Amino acid sequence: MFRDGDEVVLLSRSGKDLGRYFPEMLDALREELAPRCVLDGEIVVPREIDGRVRLDWESLSQRIHPAQSRIKMLAEQTPAHFIGFDALATGDTSLMREPFRVRRAALADAVNQKTWCHVTRTTEDPEQGAQWLETFEGAGLDGVIAKRLDGKYLPGKREMVKVKHARDADCVAMGYRIHKSGEGVGSVLLGLYRDDGELQMVGGAASFSVKDRIKLLADLEPLREGDDMREGDPSRWNSAADKRWIPVRPEKVCEVAYDQMEGNTVHGRRFRHAVKFVRWRPDREPASCTFDQLDVPLNYDLYDVLES
């Protein structure tokens, strides 16, 4: 984020100008930040869920839209916030060679108000950090970040350490896709049962070795339901990808490791990224694989994580 008086530029990590998609943020940054600064941070969309405010990835992803009319509508319905992580410059002073301890103090000074712009909490106490990792999961956070207090800002390099939540779930194998090479399984499609008894697809496990692809095909092929393939939802990231899949009888359960869910309702919830296949669970009944196992208590909300 770059600000020089009334001129504000929001750039993504890849250098894409995001100001068009978040017009309400441009006004907020002019009002709540120092008049001349360069800050590293993240745009987020908080939503109230069950009385708690948490990050909503789905609402954020919908903000990137080509239609100006829709951008205007979403800016009003799901306004974004800015969370500052680091300060690269304030006034005419570059801070990139300064230690993080100095940059952190400059960041706190650069955020004059905290209505739409915020600063993350920090601590030098490892026990406090471990407590935040556990208690703030319900606010929609992936984990906590550790930085060296004497570390300099290194563009393009990950000098920090990200400690993520280790999550796992037992899911029903409801289908598979053949690997693009034509040899074995490329991905296993996963489902969970809703309260109404319907099996809902929630994502897929992929990235198998050649040996595992062949083994998984041998496990799933006997459960294949007919010879037809079903059409899958188009990929947001690769429109040319073949999304057809082969349905199987929902008789096998597998344990998977995942990082985050997206979606506000059960009907829309799914794994945000591809998950890791861990093992088959022959001891688990498919009907026992429900969304309940994914629920995280909403004991805290987003604003508990931020400096007031």
Which residues are registered as beta bridge partners of 167? Answer: 258
Which range has the worst mean pLDDT, 26-40, 134-148, 187-201, 294-308? 294-308
Q: Which pLDDT tens digit goes with each residue over 224-246? A: 987 777 876 544 434 445 678 99
Q: 156: exposed, middle or buried (C-beta count within 10 Å: 0-12, 13-18, 19+)?
A: exposed
pLDDT over 50 (residue 298):
yes
pLDDT value for 294: 79
pLDDT band at 299 (very low <50, low <70, confident <90, very high): low
pTM of the model as a whole? 0.73
pLDDT of residue 238: 43
Q: What is the pLDDT of residue 285?
A: 95
Residue with tokens 């941070």: 41
**What pLDDT score does 167 carry?**
84
pLDDT tens figures, 198-210: 999 999 999 999 9
Name the phi and psi angles at 267, rounded to 5.
-65, -20
Q: Return the exposure string of 185-209: e unless at least 16 CB atoms fall within 10 Å of the residue's CB, then b.
A: bbbbbbbbbeeeeebbbbbbbbebe
Please give the share of the chain, as a percent, with pLDDT higher than 90: 62
Confidence of residue 266 (pLDDT cuts 50, 70, 90): low
pLDDT (mean) for 171-184: 94
